[in-house]
Structure 1
Amino acid sequence: MISQGWRAAIAAVGAVAFCWGVAGAVHLGFDCHGNGRGATYCSLPEGGGPYELAMLVGFIVSVYSVPGILRRTAWWPSLSLSLGAGAGAVAVLALGQETRYWIAAALMGAVGSAAPLVNRLWGRHHPV
């Protein structure tokens, strides 16, 4: 059985990685390409590989750790998601100050603020 401290640390690492990858995606933008058969795919431009990897790995880690974080009677593990969102907001605002950066930072701040509230209002009533 994994302790709450380790679970919170793993969730924080996943959230920081995911939000850092999103910050890079906001900064670089997406390139959309068609393959000639009607299919279109989008990816980050050249040099965006680390951001794509961080988004993928951070998303996978977060998806598996969020239910164990939010559905606890203890409230403090949910702050690990707030930590990740706060680090992502700082990263995205460090990369630029245009409107898209501020929107991404505001969304990360809203998600980071919502994590403890979700734990308080829903997670404590439906513990794992």
Structure 2
Amino acid sequence: MKVLTSVLLLGALIQASLAETASSKRVVCYQGTWSVYRPANGTYGVADIDPSLCTHLIYSFIGLYANGSIRLLDPFLDIDRKNFEQFVALSEENPNLKVMVAIGGWNEGSTNIQSW
């Protein structure tokens, strides 16, 4: 009986240790918003994201004006098609998900950076 108890206790400790290790890992996912404009099977939008696979999710991209205020690079997608709203709502499916936004990208260019 003592051996069985020890084995069960050891198993519980190993399982707790593995759970703690797994929960401390980061899985950072990146959504290039332009992927919705790909043709046919190449298209990939916010609705295609499985938020249970990620600990952090990055929305790309937004820009910045020279004064530091936010500049939307694709207002039709971000606002009109509610991409921002849908992206943030993914955290309702996974409450531990951290949603972030990336600044930059091809459409942002480098002219604003030079004026900082």
TM-score range, shorter chain: 0.3 to 0.5
Higher strand fraction: Structure 1 or Structure 2?
Answer: 2
Q: Please give the TM-score of this superposition, normalised by the length of structure 2.
A: 0.34
Q: Which has the larger radius of gyration?
A: 2
Greater per-residue helix proportion: 1
TM-score, structure 1 length as denominator? 0.32
